[in-house]
C-alpha cells in the first residue's frame, strides 16, 4: 500500500511523466498502520483549545438523490428487531437489533478513489487499467489507499462572493469566481489543502430532481485548483462537475474528474453539506475525512468534518 499526498502531483506534471509516488509524502496525510512503520512527523494545523465541529455529511436515506448510473443507490433494511429476541426467562433482559446496508460507493456524501477515473485506460501515475481492474476491484489506487485526511481545509463560498443565495442550475464555477472568493474571503490556496466549493446546492438534498440539475465547477477551475497542488476538492453537488455537459477541449463529460483524479491524483468529495459552515463564515479550518477501507473499491461514503478554532 502506498500512501500519497496531494501536492507533489501539482498541475503541470504531464501524465506520461508522473512524479514518483514515493516522493510525494507530505504534511497532513501520514498514517501509521501495523503494516507500515513510519519515520516522519506530520504538521497538523492547530486544533487546540476550543473549537467547533461542523458536520459536512448529508443524511443517508433511500430517497436521497442518486446519479442514474449509480442506481439502485442506497437502502437500509432493519430485519432483526428487539422484539424478536426478547426471552427474559432464558436470555435475560438484553436484546439486539440490526440491519443490512446496500449502497453504491458513489451514493450520498462520498469520496472518489483514484481508480474511479481513467485517462485513455490509464489511472493516475500511468497505471494501466488492464493490470489492476478485476473481480476483487482494483489492486492499486483503490479506496483503501486513501489515508485518513487531516489537513487544512478552505471553503470557497461562491454564491456569497457573487452576491446571490445559490448558483443557478447548470452554472459552472469559473476561475474568476474562485479567485474572487479567495480575495473576498482573504484566503490563499496552498499545497496540501482540501478545497470545498459551496454552490448553495446542498439545500436541495431533499428535492432530488432539483439537486441533480444543480450547478458545478468548470474544467478551468478544476485545472486551476489542480495547479495549486491541493490534496482533495469537494462540493455540495452530485458530481463536482456540471452534469450533462461535454467539455469542448477534453471531449468528455465530467472534465474535472479527468483532470483531478486521473491526471493529478487529487481526490473529489461529493454531496457535501456546507450551509452551516458558510453561515459561520468559517473559511479556514482543520478538515478531517476518513474513507472506509473497502479493499478494491472505487470510493467510500464519508462523513467529513471541519474543526473551526474558536476566535480569539
Which residues, numbered 64-123, are part of the site for its own copies (CB under 8 A)? 69-86, 88, 91-106, 108, 115-121
Nearer to its own copies, 182 or 292 (CB): 292
- Helix, strand, or coil here: 22? helix
Cα-based distances in Å from 6 to 136, 181, 274, 295:
26, 22, 22, 21
DSSP of 150-191: EEEEEEEEHHHHHTSSSPPTT-EE-HHHHHHHHHHHT----T
Residue 255, all three cell numbers: 472534465
Nearer to its own copies, 180 or 190 (CB): 190
Determine if 25 is a binding residue for its own copies (CB under 8 A): no
Q: Least distance to its own copies from the beta carbon of 183, Å?
A: 26
Site string for its own copies, 246-275 (x = CB under 8 A): xx--xxxxxx-xx---x----------x-x
Size of the site for its own copies (CB under 8 A): 121
Q: Least distance to its own copies from the beta carbon of 255, Å?
A: 8
Binding to its own copies (CB under 8 A) within 187-206 occurs at 202-203
**Are the CB atoms for 9 and 266 separated by under 8 Å?**
yes
Sign for the CA dihedral angle at 131, 219, 282, 154 comes to positive
**What's the CA gap between 36 and 71, in Å, rounded?**
37
Q: Least distance to its own copies from the beta carbon of 292, Å?
A: 5
Nearer to its own copies, 12 or 120 (CB): 120
Determine if 46 is a binding residue for its own copies (CB under 8 A): yes
Determine if 32 is a binding residue for its own copies (CB under 8 A): yes
What are residue 175's phi and psi, to 5 degrees?
Answer: -60, -40
Determine if 291 is a binding residue for its own copies (CB under 8 A): yes
Nearer to its own copies, 83 or 163 (CB): 83
Cα-based distances in Å from 218 to 25, 34, 80, 88, 114:
29, 41, 46, 61, 20
Q: Least distance to its own copies from the beta carbon of 234, Å?
A: 15
Nearer to its own copies, 183 or 279 (CB): 279
Nearer to its own copies, 13 or 129 (CB): 129
Q: Least distance to its own copies from the beta carbon of 252, Å?
A: 3
- Binding residue (CB under 8 A) for its own copies from 17, 186, 310, 312: 310
Determine if 225 is a binding residue for its own copies (CB under 8 A): no
Distance linking the first and last C-alpha atoms of the chain: 41
What are residue 90's phi and psi, to 5 degrees?
Answer: -110, -25
**What's the CA gap between 97 and 85, in Å, rounded?**
9
Stretch that binds its own copies, among 18-26, 50-58, 206-214, 226-234 (CB under 8 A): 50-58
Q: Compute the residue count for the chain.
A: 312
- Helix, strand, or coil here: 143? helix
CA-based nearest residue to 46, from 151, 148, 149, 188: 151
Determine if 176 is a binding residue for its own copies (CB under 8 A): no
Determine if 14 is a binding residue for its own copies (CB under 8 A): no
Binding to its own copies (CB under 8 A) within 118-147 occurs at 118-121, 129-130, 133-138, 144, 147
Cα-based distances in Å from 146 to 76, 169, 270:
26, 32, 16
Amino acid at each position: 500500500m502506498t500512501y500519497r499526498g496531494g501536492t507533489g502531483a501539482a498541475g503541470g506534471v504531464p501524465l506520461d511523466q508522473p512524479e514518483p509516488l514515493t516522493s510525494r509524502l507530505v504534511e497532513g496525510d501520514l498514517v501509521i498502520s501495523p503494516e507500515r512503520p513510519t519515520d516522519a512527523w506530520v504538521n497538523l494545523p492547530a486544533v487546540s483549545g476550543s473549537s467547533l465541529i461542523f458536520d459536512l455529511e448529508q443524511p443517508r436515506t433511500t430517497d436521497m438523490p442518486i446519479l442514474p448510473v449509480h442506481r439502485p443507490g442506497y437502502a437500509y433494511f432493519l430485519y432483526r428487531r428487539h422484539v424478536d429476541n426478547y426471552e427474559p426467562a432464558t436470555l435475560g433482559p438484553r436484546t439486539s437489533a440490526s440491519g443490512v446496508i446496500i449502497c453504491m460507493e458513489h451514493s450520498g456524501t462520498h469520496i472518489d478513489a483514484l481508480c474511479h477515473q481513467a485517462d485513455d485506460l490509464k489511472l493516475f501515475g500511468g497505471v494501466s487499467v488492464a493490470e489492476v481492474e478485476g473481480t476483487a476491484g482494483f489492486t492499486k489506487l483503490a479506496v483503501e489507499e486513501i489515508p485518513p485526511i487531516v489537513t487544512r481545509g478552505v471553503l470557497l463560498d461562491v454564491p456569497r462572493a457573487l452576491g446571490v443565495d445559490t448558483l443557478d442550475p447548470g452554472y459552472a464555477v469559473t476561475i474568476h469566481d474562485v479567485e474572487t472568493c479567495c480575495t473576498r474571503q482573504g484566503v490563499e490556496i496552498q499545497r496540501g489543502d482540501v478545497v470545498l466549493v459551496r454552490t448553495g446546492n446542498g439545500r436541495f438534498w431533499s428535492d432530488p430532481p432539483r439537486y441533480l440539475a444543480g450547478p458545478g465547477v468548470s474544467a478551468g477551475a478544476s485545472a486551476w485548483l489542480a495547479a495549486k497542488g491541493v490534496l482533495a476538492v469537494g462540493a455540495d453537488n452530485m458530481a463536482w462537475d456540471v452534469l450533462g455537459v461535454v467539455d469542448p477541449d477534453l471531449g468528455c463529460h465530467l472534465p474535472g474528474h479527468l483532470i483531478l483524479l486521473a491526471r493529478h491524483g487529487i481526490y473529489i468529495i461529493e454531496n457535501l453539506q456546507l450551509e452551516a459552515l458558510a453561515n459561520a463564515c468559517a473559511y479556514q479550518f482543520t478538515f478531517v475525512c476518513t474513507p472506509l477501507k473497502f479493499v478494491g473499491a472505487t470510493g467510500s461514503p464519508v462523513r467529513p468534518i471541519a474543526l473551526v478554532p474558536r476566535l480569539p
